[in-house]
Amino acid sequence: MTTTAPETLTEYQLFIDGRFVPSSDGSTYESEDPYTCASWARIADGTTADVDRAVDAARRALSGEWGRMPGKERARLMRRLADIVERESGALADVETRDNGKPFRDANAQVAYVADWLRYFAGHADKIEGRAFSDAHPNFFAYTVRQPVGVVGAILPWNAPLILLAFKLAPALAAGCTFVAKPSEFTPASALALAACVEEAGFPPGVFNVVAGSSRAVGAHLVAHHGVDKVAFTGSTATGIAVAQAALGHLAAVTLELGGKSPQLVFADADLDQATNGLIAGVFAASGQFCTAGSRILVHRDVHDELAQRLRSRAEQIRIGDPRDPEIDLGPISTGPQYARVAELLNSAAAEGAGVPKSGGVAPEVGRYFVRPTVLTDVTLSMQVMREEIFGPVVGLIPFDTEDEAVAMANDTPYGLAAGIWTRDVRRSHRVADRLQAGTVWVNAYRTNSPGVPFGGMKASGLGRENGQEALDSYLETKSVWIELADESRDPFRIG
């Protein structure tokens, strides 16, 4: 990464056992601002020894004050944390924008979500209940209790670091788990900034730990660590599979939130004004760097040309530039490798015969990692750009003639994360939603989320769900307790 004068860099240390600490070997690395392409922060460069320290602290916290704390007290701490996050929202959003290049407007909204997530799951912390079985077996009473799964190891991506951390942290805290976060090497700062809020909120030491690190060994060590009871991962499908294999090596529970190639189906009866706006939100917001990006637009042939024209003219109005400028809609691609990947996919699209508008493509005149919103036409489902996750502001349009054909094309992908349906026909919307292989289907909307609504992928897009009751359940173990009621001895060699 590029370096600047050391005195201009903001310093971040690891957060382990309730304290900010340097890495065990004293090393640091620099984090780049993708807009200026200069280093802006110096980060303590965690090691596998730091992971060990963090996991040990998290285990101690489980059997200490935190482990004994009633749900309503955990809820109180979580609400206090939400208040602090809200108070610090401008600063946290600024950190996110500097590290990730996300426009401040969007980063600010995502920080507000962090507080929402904490408050929503705080409401669950004192409502974790088991079941009673008075008739499970003659002369027995049985009941279940729900207990925290234990230490959570969270591997985070760079595209929406804070909110994707909150998706995991909020239910984990509500359940009574402890937490070790390993942020992406590209965007470590916001998790470490959040740690300062956790410290101020007064959580016992070891409940929340952050080990940043530039080496792949740090995350790999965390997910393979025998002291970790559950691994929560967001990132690419290939890495997710490797992470799950490492976690299963010591029988840790796993949730995986992985990639997508989400379709947006636009029927001839759709409100094209609303659809255009939603399609723009669904693929150009955050420079298309979100897992649910609706990068395959399947559109009825009757409205194909009109929609393509509307999308291109709207795309040309998108303001790109300095993400800290509140008037800017679209910032840079977040990392150098990701910029190279998007550029490569654009080249492949052109080579395979796609229509690439002059107003689209890479934009070196704006900055080194900039890509203009690009609406591709004359694409087919077999092209690389229409099969692989792009994670950039690029979308392709493919015409269809019938509902069956649209559904078949939508499902013709290894992924199954999300889909959008644009139609005024309420019967069609339910019919098609039922047939789409996707964990989330939006109708006449896109990129909406809530802490209470489960989120996750089918097929190669993931395992398990984040958000909602499903998320809380995934941070809990169920224990069954059997009480003998009869005061008599049994035949020891007969089950029962």
Binding site for ligand NDP (CB under 6 A): 155-159, 184-186, 216, 219-220, 223, 234-236, 239, 242-243, 257-259, 291, 338, 341, 389, 391
Closer by beta carbon to ligand NDP, 219 or else 323: 219
| CB neighbour class for 319 (10 Å; exposed up to 12, middle 13-18, buried from 19) | exposed
Token pair of 355 as six digits: 């229509």
Q: What's the min distance (Å) between Cβ of 289 and ligand NDP?
A: 8
Q: What's the min distance (Å) between Cβ of 350 and ligand NDP?
A: 19
Closer by beta carbon to ligand NDP, 97 or else 184: 184
Token pair of 269 as six digits: 């009866």
Report the C-alpha gap between 271 and 286 in whole angstroms.
Answer: 24
Q: What's the min distance (Å) between Cβ of 12 and ligand NDP?
A: 15
Residue 313 sits at φ, ψ, to 5 deg, of -70, -35
Provide the terminal-to-terminal Cα distance of the chain, rounded to the nearest Å.
Answer: 65
Of the candidates 342, 334, 367, which has an alpha carbon nearest to the alpha carbon of residue 33? Answer: 334
Q: What's the min distance (Å) between Cβ of 314 and ligand NDP?
A: 24
Closer by beta carbon to ligand NDP, 270 or else 333: 333
Q: What's the min distance (Å) between Cβ of 259 and ligand NDP?
A: 5
350's CB contacts (< 8 A; 6+ apart) are 356
Collapsing DSSP to helix, strand or coil, 324 comes out as: coil
Options 32, 291, 389, 466, the catalytic residue:
291
**Angle at the Cα of 129 from the Cα atoms of 154 and 119, rounded to 5 degrees:** 50
Closer by beta carbon to ligand NDP, 399 or else 456: 456
Token pair of 119 as six digits: 């408050």
Q: What's the min distance (Å) between Cβ of 153 and ligand NDP?
A: 9
Of the candidates 293, 271, 298, which has an alpha carbon nearest to the alpha carbon of residue 282? Answer: 293
Closer by beta carbon to ligand NDP, 33 or else 185: 185
Packing angle, helices 189-201 and 161-175, rounded to 10: 40
Q: What's the min distance (Å) between Cβ of 163 and ligand NDP?
A: 11
Closer by beta carbon to ligand NDP, 161 or else 278: 161
In this structure, the number of other CB atoms found within 10 A of the CB of residue 496 comes to: 8
Inter-residue contact 43 to 28 (CB < 8 Å): yes
Token pair of 482 as six digits: 């059997």
Active site annotation includes 197: no
Active site annotation includes 257: yes
Closer by beta carbon to ligand NDP, 218 or else 272: 218
Strand partners, 28: 44
Order across the sheet with 132-133: list the strands. 132-133, 140-148, 476-484
Q: Tell me the catalytic residues.
A: 257, 291
